[in-house]
Amino acid sequence: MRVLSFAGGRKKVRRVVLTAALAAGFTCVRSLQAQEAPSAPAPQQPTSTAPNARGETFGGIDYTKGSSLLHNPIAQYKAKHVPEPNLSNSPRVDQLMRDGRIMLSMSDAIALALENNLDLAIARYNLPIADTDILRAKAGQGLRGVATGLVQGTPGGGQGGIGTASQGAGAGGTTSAAGGAATGASGIVLSTAGAGPAVEQFDPTLTGTLSEEHAITPESNQVFTGVPNLLSNTGVGNFSYNQGFATGTALTVGFQNNRQTTNSIFTTLNPTINSSFRATLTQHLLQGFGIGLNTRFIRIARNDREIADVAFRDQVIQTVSQIADIYWDLVNAYENVKAKERALALAQKTLSDNQKQVQIGTLAPIEVVRAQSTVAANQENLIVAQTNLQLQQLLMKNALSRSLKDPILSAAPVIPTDTVAIPAEEPVVPVQDLINDALSHRPDLSESRIDLTNREINRKAAANGLLPSLDAFAFYGASGLGGVQNPLTPTSGGFFSTPAGSIPTRGFGDTFSDLFNSSAPDKGVGLQLNIPIKNRSAQADQMRSELELRQAEMRLQQLQNQVAIQVRQAQFTVQQNRAQVEASEKAYELAQQSLEAEQKKYALGASTNFNVLQTESDLATADSNRVQARTNYEKSRVELDRVTGYTLVRNGIVLDDAFNGRMTKQPVVPYVSPRTDTTPTAQQQATH
């Protein structure tokens, strides 16, 4: 490759490039500012890259910003590394361990979930992922979309008991979100999201071509070359700069250089040096005009980031509600074991009494067999209750940890230190107030409203795409020629003759100077018009965007109606379960008194052993029903808080703690009371 000598004109090159860039920058300074600032103030975003106790900093990168061109020009071409996930459990797990058992309160369960639950850990990645779309939009690129559905990979909880985990088919293992958001494979996707004129590419590009060519071409006609085989060596050094601006303006600066040597005797200059440049400024006047239109991806990306924030808040609400349900299922299983133990102990006492009476001849042997059958049935019920307790303990440990590889954690039973607290009087809140709270605080409604804003932006873009394309352009350029007079060219006597010394020798520096001395200028202005006949594709996109917007508005109304029904249903369920608690308490008291009465009657000979065993069974059933009723009541209150969007407020959860995965404030859970007896019985210990 022959090296072209640019040293002589280096300062001039720098001067012309700076001149062209400043001229374009002066006309587009406002559009550059608009690229970095949205038309409306950006919503306050949680710090997704803040370090936490688990060390999840996502690489400590601000994903809304690219690498600095001034501080490290090479960094923008290097891959950013995100650390591998931290799969260790938070220290809180070890702090709750007592004598090989996890002594777990409701507030500790929620705190552990916010630190360790994998659903939240997975959903947390959606925040920096959404930030990357903002960075793409700043470059003028289309959006990838973000996942806003719920991650549902934790089994357990729910109104139906254990439940099953379901990852969902959306990005990041999420379900589809309500309100039209996340209705595609990539999350927030609209079928007309890219409708309308293409956005200018805001990131400038610099391209260059350096080449050297050697060619031998047989000549069929030597009249114009004077040689049978034309030999040529061509060196090319071309450069161009391209950048778009938010006003719908595009700047292109091209700089071309060519140096050629040949064996043709009729080439006047050998070598020949050609240089030229052209700076072109193009402005869209109809289609593609305006800052609002060309920054729509930035505004949509920031709205998507806000939706991701709201979706994560929804994830926190759902996860906290699920953890509360799992905890109450654990309490139910724990107390149900105690109820089954009481029933078994009572049946064993009856069996012992019957055996003694049979021995002294006051009771038929069949009654011992009847009592043994009752004991066996109660033992079976206890084993079922104990295994269910073990399962609930496993579900709880899975929900509150990232890994169960630690053998101590895996083997440790979970003892709930809180139990149900039924308020003396049920708080009475007008249902309309609850509905209004839900309409203001429900995350899915907030997502839907922000999604409508995005759809309105897309609707305007699609409408602009109906317009014809009319562009105004202006350009300025010049060309220069240099070289050395060809010594092979005849000096006299022919048509191609050139007197020796008649052409002065000009190097690249002289040629480059000609670009700026107006010796060979190239300038002009013009308009370019493109009118699509029928314009059916743009019409279809515009009408579709309108239909999608109206459909989304109807969907929002439907969601609001559903929320009102959900709130009423949740409130009715609380009232029904409160009544069930009171009824079960009365039924338990009746069963206790009935057993006492039946035992007294039996001692006086006024009843039978069968009746005593039957009342014992009734008492065991009433005891289990009472435990289940109290659990149902607590879970219905959890559901009421969830459907009204008050879960975080009710439990004293700081949302930033959930974003960062680091608890700075212990949650405070209402309607719980410390358990007075957390020591397992000998039978419970035998099961572990």
Quick: pLDDT tens for 181-213: 444 333 444 577 778 888 999 999 999 999 999
Name the H helices within 268-295: 291-294
CA nearest to 355, candidates 339, 347, 345, 367: 367
Greater pLDDT, 617 or 52: 617
Q: What is the pLDDT of residue 188?
A: 44
Quick: pLDDT tens for 143-158: 888 888 888 889 988 6
Lowest mean pLDDT among 338-342, 513-517, 529-533, 630-634: 513-517
Greater pLDDT, 659 or 280: 280
Alpha carbon distance 146, 305 (integer Å): 8
Instruction: Please check the confidence at residue 140 and state whether its pLDDT lies above 50.
Output: yes
Where residue 47 falls among pLDDT bands split at 50, 70, 90? Answer: very low
Instruction: Please check the confidence at residue 23 and state whether its pLDDT lies above 70.
Output: no
* Region 256-262 average pLDDT: 91
Across the beta sheet with 101-104, the strand order is 97-98, 101-104, 414-416
Q: What is the pLDDT of residue 675?
A: 82
Q: Check if the beta carbon of residue 202 is closer than 8 Å to that of residue 139.
A: yes
CA atoms within 13 A on the CB side of 27: 17
Q: What is the pLDDT of residue 196?
A: 86
Lowest mean pLDDT among 118-122, 165-169, 530-534: 165-169
Where residue 81 falls among pLDDT bands split at 50, 70, 90? Answer: confident
φ and ψ at residue 412, rounded to 5 degrees:
-75, 130
Instruction: Please check the confidence at residue 8 and state whether its pLDDT lies above 50.
Output: no
Instruction: Please check the confidence at residue 494 and state whether its pLDDT lies above 90.
Output: no
Q: What is the pLDDT of residue 224?
A: 64
* Region 603-627 average pLDDT: 88
| Average pLDDT across the chain, whole number | 82
Alpha carbon distance 478, 342 (integer Å): 101
Alpha carbon distance 322, 128 (integer Å): 25
Instruction: Please check the confidence at residue 446 and state whether its pLDDT lies above 70.
Output: yes
Q: What is the pLDDT of residue 187?
A: 44
Lowest mean pLDDT among 1-5, 64-68, 293-297, 565-569: 1-5
Helix/strand number for the chain, H first, E second: 18, 11
* Region 344-358 average pLDDT: 90
Q: What is the pLDDT of residue 443?
A: 93
* Region 608-622 average pLDDT: 89
Instruction: Please check the confidence at residue 324 and state whether its pLDDT lies above 70.
Output: yes
CA nearest to 421, candidates 676, 106, 671: 671
Instruction: Please check the confidence at residue 571 and state whether its pLDDT lies above 60.
Output: yes
Query: Token pair for residue 106?
Result: 């409701």
Length of the chain: 688
* Cα separation values, 403 from 87, 100, 105, 117, 397, Å: 6, 18, 20, 10, 9
CA nearest to 114, candidates 320, 395, 416, 394: 320
Q: What is the pLDDT of residue 497?
A: 56
Lowest mean pLDDT among 36-40, 64-68, 397-401, 592-596: 36-40
* Region 641-670 average pLDDT: 90
Query: Token pair for residue 30?
Result: 């406002």
Instruction: Kindly give, in sequence order, each residue whose CB lies less than 8 Å from that of residue 486, ignoring residues fewer than 6 positions away.
Output: 264, 265, 267, 268, 269, 270, 498
Which burial class, exposed, middle or buried, applies to 492 when counting CB atoms under 10 A from its CB (0-12, 13-18, 19+)?
Answer: exposed
Q: Check if the beta carbon of residue 45 is closer than 8 Å to that of residue 301.
A: no
* Region 382-387 average pLDDT: 95
CA nearest to 427, candidates 567, 320, 571: 571
Q: What is the pLDDT of residue 146?
A: 84
Q: What is the pLDDT of residue 535?
A: 93
Residue 479: strand pairing partners: 276
Where residue 354 falls among pLDDT bands split at 50, 70, 90? Answer: confident
CA nearest to 264, candidates 217, 292, 224: 224
Q: Of all residues in the chain, what percent carry a pLDDT higher than 70? A: 83
* Cα separation values, 654 from 282, 309, 313, 327, 662, Å: 51, 14, 11, 20, 10
Alpha carbon distance 362, 226 (integer Å): 142
Q: Check if the beta carbon of residue 577 is closer than 8 Å to that of residue 636.
A: yes
Q: For residue 666, how many other CB atoms are within 10 A of its CB?
A: 14
Alpha carbon distance 93, 109 (integer Å): 10
* Region 71-100 average pLDDT: 87
Q: What is the pLDDT of residue 219?
A: 77
Q: What is the pLDDT of residue 144?
A: 87
Where residue 682 falls among pLDDT bands split at 50, 70, 90? Answer: very low
Q: Of all residues in the chain, what percent carry a pLDDT higher than 90? A: 52
Instruction: Please check the confidence at residue 353 and state whether its pLDDT lies above 70.
Output: yes
Find the helix or strand (DSSP H, E) in which 328 lies. helix 296-360
Q: Is the dihedral of CA 345, 347, 348, 349 positive or negative?
A: positive
Quick: pLDDT tens for 88-103: 888 999 899 999 999 9
Q: Could you give the angle at which helices 296-360 and 126-138 cross, rounded to 10 degrees?
A: 170
